[in-house]
Amino acid sequence: MSETAQVNAFIDIDPADREPSLDEFRQIVRDFISENLPADWKGVGALEGEERIAFVNGWRDLTTHARLLTSYWPYEYGGRGLSKLYHLSVAQEFAKNKLPLGRPSDTIAIKLLGNTVNAWGTHEQKLEYLPRILSGVDVWAQGYSEPGSGSDLASLRTKAVLRDGQWHIDGQKIWTSNAMNCNKAFMLVRTDPTAPNSKAITMLLIDMHQPGVEVRPILNGAGSAELCEVFLTDAVTDEANVLGEIGNGWAVTNSLLTSERGEEAATNPVLFAQEFERVIALAREVGADRNPGTRARIARSYKELAVMKAMGDRILSGYVRDGSLGPQASISKLYWSEYHKRIAELGVDLLGIDALTWEGEGPMRWFRTDEPGARNSSTSWLAVFLANAMSGTIYAGTSEVQRNIISERALGMPREPKAPAK
C-alpha cells in the first residue's frame, strides 16, 4: 500500500451517528472487539515471537481503521471527534480483553507527541503529522532529559539558534527511549539564553535521519538497549517546525499531563490485576502457595490493588467532573510504581534458583506489566522486575519528586529550597 493510501485508511461514519452517548459508544467498542477478536483469545503474551509483533501491528491497523485508536482526535485527522472520556472506555474495554491499544512506540508517538500536536499544532502541522502517526509511518522519540537535567528539566542546556530559516541545534539528550528506531523527535531546547525558563525553552520537531544527529544505545539491567544517548551537532530543522510558539515549550510540555494520568487511572488497575493473577498462578506452580511469607505478601498486594482501583475511580470521577486531577495524580503515580516494584520482586523470589537464568519470552514493552497472558517464564519476571518495574519509579517523575509534590501541594508543607544554579 502506498504511504498516502496508508495514511487515509479510516472508516466513514455517517454524520448523524457521530455523537453517540457514552453507553452507545461502549457498545460500539464491545461489538468491534467481538467481531474481530480471534477465537480462544488468551492475550498477546500467550503468543510467541514474531506472532506477537504481527498480532499487535495487525490489531493496531484494525483499531486505527475503525477510528478507535484516537477516537478523541478530530474526524479530519483520523479520530471521531469525541471527548477523552470516550477514549477511556476504549482503553478499559481493550485492557479487560487483554488487547493492546496501539503498539509500544505509540506511548510516545500518540500519547505524548500526537496529543501535543492535536492541542498545540497549527492546522498544517496536524495535517502533516497526525495521519502519519496513525499510519505508523513516523516513529517518534522524546528528547527531553539531558545529563544533569532529568528531574530538574528546566535546567536543560541543548540550545537552538535560528539562522537563515533554519534552527541549528547543539547539545546532548539522554535516556531517549527507542531512539535507534525513530525517524522523528520532539525536543525541548533552549532558544533564549537570557530569558527565565518559562520563556526560554522551545519545542522543536526534528528529523532523526540527518548528519547532525548521532544515536548511541545504552544497555540496561535486563540486557536490552531500549534507551539511548542522542548527540546533536549542528542538527537542523526548518523554522516552521516549532510546536506551540518560540519560548513557550515549557507550557506546551506541561499541558498534557492531565489527560495522560486520566487514562492511566482507568487502565492500571486492570493491567495490574491481570498481573496479580499471574503471581498467584506462579505461587501455585512452584508450590509456594501454602508458604506463610508468600501468602502475606500476596495478601498485601491484594489489598494494595483494591486501594489502587479505588484511587483510580476517584481520579476518574474528578476528571469526569471538571477535568482536574491535582495532587491525586502524584499519589497514584507513586502508589502504582512502588507497588509494581514489590510485586515484581515477589515474582522473581517465587522463581527461586530459576531466576538465575533467562528462559522464555520477555515483554514487548518496557513499561508497566508483561503482556497479558504471558507465561510465567524467568525472562518475563526478570525483565519486568529489572526494567519495567524499576524504571516505573523513575520516568514521568521519580518517586522522590512525587513525594515532594504530595508534601507541598497536598499536605501544605514548606517548599524545598531552590537548588543553587549549576
Ligand X SMILES: Cc1cc2nc3c(=O)[nH]c(=O)nc-3n(C[C@H](O)[C@H](O)[C@H](O)COP(=O)(O)OP(=O)(O)OC[C@H]3O[C@@H](n4cnc5c(N)ncnc54)[C@H](O)[C@@H]3O)c2cc1C
- Nearest CB to ligand X, comparing residues 97 and 404: 404
Q: Are strands 242-243 and 227-238 parallel, antiparallel or unpaired?
A: unpaired
- Nearest CB to ligand X, comparing residues 32 and 367: 367
142 binds ligand X (CB under 6 A): yes
Choice from 176, 191, 259, 294 touching ligand X (CB under 6 A) = 176
175 binds ligand X (CB under 6 A): yes
- Nearest CB to ligand X, comparing residues 144 and 336: 144
Choice from 74, 404, 406, 408 touching ligand X (CB under 6 A) = 404
Q: Are 97 and 63 in contact (CB under 8 A)?
A: no
145 binds ligand X (CB under 6 A): yes
Q: Active-site residue 19, yes or no?
A: no
- Nearest CB to ligand X, comparing residues 216 and 300: 216
Q: Which of 214, 260, 338, 345 is catalytic?
A: 260
Span near ligand X by CB under 6 A; candidates 9-17, 145-153, 241-249, 304-312: 145-153
Other residues' Cβ atoms within 10 Å of the Cβ of residue 117: 24
- Residue 372: is it exposed, middle or buried by C-beta count within 10 angstroms (0-12/13-18/19+)? buried
Choice from 63, 328, 378, 391 touching ligand X (CB under 6 A) = 391
Choice from 25, 167, 366, 381 touching ligand X (CB under 6 A) = 366
DSSP state of 25: H
180 binds ligand X (CB under 6 A): no
78 binds ligand X (CB under 6 A): no
231 binds ligand X (CB under 6 A): no
Distance in Å from the first CA to the final CA of the chain: 52
Phi/psi of residue 204, nearest 5 degrees? -110, 145
DSSP state of 416: P
Q: How many CA atoms lie within 13 Å of 45's alpha carbon, on the beta-carbon side?
A: 23
Rounded to whole angstroms, the Cα distance separating 90 from 70 reads 9
Q: Is 78 left (phi over 0), alpha (psi -120 to 50) or beta?
A: left
> Which residues are identified as catalytic?
260
For ligand X, the binding residues (CB under 6 A) are 142-145, 150-151, 175-177, 227, 366, 391, 394-395, 398, 400-401, 404, 416
